[in-house]
Structure 1
Amino acid sequence: MTGLKAILIDDENPALMQLERLIEADGRVRVAGKYTQAQSAMEHLEAEKAEVIFLDIEMPEMNGLEAAERLRMIDPDVLIVYVTAYNHYAVEAFERNALDYLLKPVEPERLAKTVNRLEAQLLLQKSAVQEKDSKEPMILCFKQLSWNENQGAGGEIKWRTQKAQEMFAFLVHHRNKRVTKEIILRTLWPELPVDKAVTQLHTSVYQVRKILKSRGSGIRVDYAYDSYRLVMGNVQTDVDLFQQVAGRQEVVTLREWESLDRALSLYRGDYLEEHDYFWAKPLAEELRLKFIKASLLSVEYERKTGKELRAIQRMEALILLEPFSEELCRMLIALYASSGNYASLVRYYEAFVLFLREELDTSPEDQTAQLYKNLMSY
C-alpha cells in the first residue's frame, strides 16, 4: 500500500506540520497536500484523487464535520480520519461514517493503527470493485475465448465442434459488423467445395445460435443481405475495454494511472492466443504492441511517483513477453539500480547475457553493456 495518498486539513500550521512529520515517519502514506482551509482542499480533490483525508474538526470558517460532507460530495469513496483535541467528538465522528479519529497530540503508535485500518478498508473496497467488475457480462478474447457473465454461466464455452467455436470467434472478431457469407466461407472452409462449405457454415451458425440462446445473454446472430452479424447488445469484450484506455498518450494523474492499470490487467495473454487462428494474428500483434507501449507509459508514471516496486514488477512481466528486447533490458536494470536492488540487477543481466548467447549466439549491444558497467560503478 506504499504511496497511499492523503490530504491534511487543519487551521493551525504547527498541527499540520506535526501530523505530516508523523505520517512521513510511518512511511506508508504520502501527503499530497496540506491546507489550513477546507475550501482549498476541496479544489485539490476536484483536480486530483486522494484516498484519505485527515481532517481537523474544530475549524473557524467551516466545521470539520460539515467539510467532510462536502468533500464526500466530490468523491464518495474518500476515507475520512478526524483529528480532534476533544474525545467527545469521537461518537459524532463515527456517526458521520468516519473511518477513524485521532486525538491531539497524535501519538505515532495510534497513527500506525489508523494507517492499518486505512489499508484494510482500501483492500476491501478494491475487492468489492473487482467482484462487481467480474460480474459484468463480457466476452473474453485475451489468451482464450471464454465468457464472463453475471448469470453465473461463465468460463470456457463447451462447443460441439472446433469450427463452431471458430465461427463464433470470427463473428466476435467482427462484432456488430456484417461479414459476407463469401468471406466466411473463404476464411473458415477454404479447402472445401462450396456446397460442403455452405453446409458446414449452416451447421456452425445453428450451433452458435443454440449456445447463445442457452445462455440468455441477449447476443444474437443476425442474417441479412447474404451476410452474418453478431449483435452484441450491451455485452462488451475485454478487448473493447482494453482499447478504450490503452491508447492514451500520457498518464499525468492518479486516476489516469488507475484506469490504465485496470485496462492492462485485462491482458491475460495475446489475442485468441490459445486458438492460433491465422486471421486473428494481425490484430493480436497490434494489441500486443499497444499493451507494451501502455505498460511502459504506466512504468514511467510509477517511477516518477515512488511506485518503483510496482514499476519493476511490470517490467519483469514485460521481459517475459519480449525476452530479447535490449530496450526493456536497459529499462529494467536502470530500475533495479534506482531502487538499490543490485543483487537482482546482476542476476537478471547475467541471465540476459546467457540467454542471448544460447538463443541467438550473440552478446548485448554496446549501449546495454555500457549502461550495465556504469550502473555497477556507482
Structure 2
Amino acid sequence: MRIMLVDDEKLSIVQMKMMLEKLEDIVIVGTYLDAMEAIQAVRDLRPDVVFLDISMPVMNGLQAGIHIQNELPDIEIVFVTAYDNYAIQAFELNALDYLLKPVHNERLHKTIERLRSRIQSGAAATDLAKEEGGRVCFFQNIRFQQPGREPELIKWRTNKAQELFAYLFHYRNQIVRKDSLLELLWSGIEERKASQQLYTTIYQARRTLKEMSGEVIQIQNARLTEGYKLYWRNVAFDVSEWEGKLDALEPLHAGNVQDYEQVLADYEGGYLADYDYAWAQAEQDRLRWLWITHTVKLSDYYLAQGLREDAIRVQLHMQRVDPLIEESYFNLMKLYTAIHHPVGMEEQYRSLTAILEQQLDTVPSEEVTEWYLAHRS
C-alpha cells in the first residue's frame, strides 16, 4: 500500500511514518509539510492513500483533500487532527477514516485494515467491470445496470453531483469548461465560493462513480484547459444503444417486425424525463420525436396488414410511456370506432381531456373534438 503523509508539524510526520513502517506491505512514497506541494505531487507519485492533517496554514486538509482527489480520483483519504470538531465535515467529504492525535497503534491498525479492505473491494469491482462491463441508463432517470442484474437508481450524494454527471454525459464527447459548470450550477454565486463548491461536487460525483462502477466511468481533468470530460471503457449507454438500433433498421416488413417491436420497447421514457434540466430539453424533444415517428410507423404497418389489435396495442404502449401525445388518443378513438367499440372511444376522449387539463391547462384540439362529436353514440 503506497501512502503519502501531509502535516505541517514535522514531528507528527516522523511519528506517523515510524508507526506505519512497522506494518507489512506499507510504503511511504512522500512526506509533505505544505498542502500545495502535496497536491502537485500526487499525480506523479500516485499513492493509494493520503494521510492529511486538517489544521494547516494557507490551505487546510479538507480543502486539500478535494484538490488531491480531483487530481487522483481513486485515492483514499484519512484525515488526522487534534480536534474532533472537524469530524462531520471530514465524513461529508467521504473520507475513509478520521484519526485524532495523538494516534495510537491499535486505532491506526484498524484504519489500515479498513484501507486494505476498501482497496481490495475497489479492485474487485474494477476487474468485474472490465470483464463483464455495465450499462448506464438515461431514459426516464439515471440508473446503473450491473451485468446480470436489473438497473438500479444511482444514489448521488447531492442533486448538484447528479446534474453535473448528467451534464458531462450530455456533452460526453467534448471537454466541458469549468466556467460553463459554474454558470450552470452556481450562477450568481461569488466565483471563489462557486469554485470551491465545484471541486466538492466533482469529488462527490467521482466517489459515487467509483462505488458504482469501479474505475470504468471517470471524470477526468482536461489538462490543456480548465475543464472536465467523461471517460469510460466497456460501458454501454441506453440512449446510444437505442439510437444505434433505430438507425440500423431496414424498411419495415414481416421479417423484421420484431426488431421494430424491440426498439419500441427499449424506449423506457423520455431522456432524463424525471429531472427538470432545461439544458436537456432539446435532446429530449429530438429523441421523443424519433420515438413517436417509429411508433406511428409500426402502428401504421399493423393497420395496413389488417392487424387492428396490434395497432391498438402499439398506440396504448405509446400512451403509457408518454401520456401527453394527443395523437395516440386520437388514433385509438378511430381504431375503437373501426372495431365497433364505442366505450373505448369515449374513454380515450375523456382521458385526453383530463390529462390535458391537469398537465397543460388546455383542451383537445378542434380537430379531435369535432371528430369526437361527429362519431359519439
TM-score interval w.r.t. the shorter chain?
Answer: 0.5 to 0.7
- 1:180 partnered with 2:177: yes
- Match of residue 277 from structure 2: 277
Deviation at 1:228, TM superposition (A): 1.0
Deviation at 1:364, TM superposition (A): 5.4
Alignment gaps of 5+ in structure 2: 1-131
Aligned partner letter, 2:295: S
Equivalent residues in 2 for 1:26-65, closer than 5 Å = none
- Match of residue 169 from structure 1: 166
Equivalent residues in 2 for 1:217-256, closer than 5 Å = 218-224=216-222, 225=224, 226-246=226-246, 251-254=251-254, 256=256
What is the number of residues matched between the two proteins? 241
Deviation at 1:195, TM superposition (A): 1.3
- Match of residue 365 from structure 1: 366
**Is 1:250–1:297's contact at 8 Å kept on the other side of the alignment?**
no
Q: 3-state DSSP class of the match of 1:275?
A: coil
Deviation at 1:371, TM superposition (A): 7.3
Indicate the RMSD between aligned Cα atoms, in angstroms.
3.3
Once residues 310 and 353 of structure 1 are traced to their aligned partners in structure 2, the CA distance between those partners, rounded to angstroms, is 25
**Is 1:179–1:227's contact at 8 Å kept on the other side of the alignment?**
yes
Which segment is superposed worse, 206-215 or 272-281? 206-215
Deviation at 1:269, TM superposition (A): 2.2
Q: 3-state DSSP class of the match of 1:160?
A: coil
- Match of residue 74 from structure 2: none
Q: 3-state DSSP class of the match of 2:331?
A: helix
Q: 3-state DSSP class of the match of 2:154?
A: coil
Equivalent residues in 2 for 1:279-294, closer than 5 Å = 279-294=279-294
Listed one character per residue, the Cα deviations across residues 118-148 of structure 1 (whole Å, up to 9, x for unaligned) are xxxxxxxxxxxxxxxxx97211111111111
Q: 3-state DSSP class of the match of 1:336?
A: helix
Once residues 219 and 174 of structure 2 are traced to their aligned partners in structure 1, the CA distance between those partners, rounded to angstroms, is 11
Once residues 187 and 196 of structure 2 are traced to their aligned partners in structure 1, the CA distance between those partners, rounded to angstroms, is 13
Once residues 363 and 161 of structure 2 are traced to their aligned partners in structure 1, the CA distance between those partners, rounded to angstroms, is 45
Q: Name which of 201, 208, 213 aligns with 2:210.
A: 213
Aligned partner letter, 2:219: V
- Match of residue 58 from structure 1: none
**Is 1:181–1:227's contact at 8 Å kept on the other side of the alignment?**
yes
Q: 3-state DSSP class of the match of 2:230?
A: strand
Alignment gaps of 5+ in structure 1: 1-134
- Match of residue 140 from structure 2: 143
Q: 3-state DSSP class of the match of 1:294?
A: helix
The share of aligned pairs that are identical, in percent, is 27
Listed one character per residue, the Cα deviations across residues 197-256 of structure 1 (whole Å, up to 9, x for unaligned) are 211221222222222223225122222222211112231221112222345797422454
- Match of residue 200 from structure 2: 203
Deviation at 1:367, TM superposition (A): 6.8
Q: 3-state DSSP class of the match of 1:142?
A: coil
**Is 1:137–1:150's contact at 8 Å kept on the other side of the alignment?**
yes
Aligned partner letter, 1:207: Q
Distance 1:207 1:353, change over 3 A: closer
Aligned partner letter, 2:293: K
**Is 1:251–1:297's contact at 8 Å kept on the other side of the alignment?**
no
Once residues 357 and 198 of structure 1 are traced to their aligned partners in structure 2, the CA distance between those partners, rounded to angstroms, is 43
Aligned partner letter, 1:158: K
Q: 3-state DSSP class of the match of 2:262?
A: helix
Aligned partner letter, 1:192: I
Listed one character per residue, the Cα deviations across residues 275-306 of structure 1 (whole Å, up to 9, x for unaligned) are 21222122112222222111111111222345
Distance 1:372 1:221, change over 3 A: same
Once residues 192 and 362 of structure 2 are traced to their aligned partners in structure 1, the CA distance between those partners, rounded to angstroms, is 52
**Is 1:221–1:228's contact at 8 Å kept on the other side of the alignment?**
yes
- Match of residue 118 from structure 1: none
Equivalent residues in 2 for 1:308-319, closer than 5 Å = 308-319=308-319
Q: 3-state DSSP class of the match of 1:223?
A: strand
**Is 2:157–2:204's contact at 8 Å kept on the other side of the alignment?**
yes
Distance 1:353 1:229, change over 3 A: closer
- Match of residue 298 from structure 2: 298
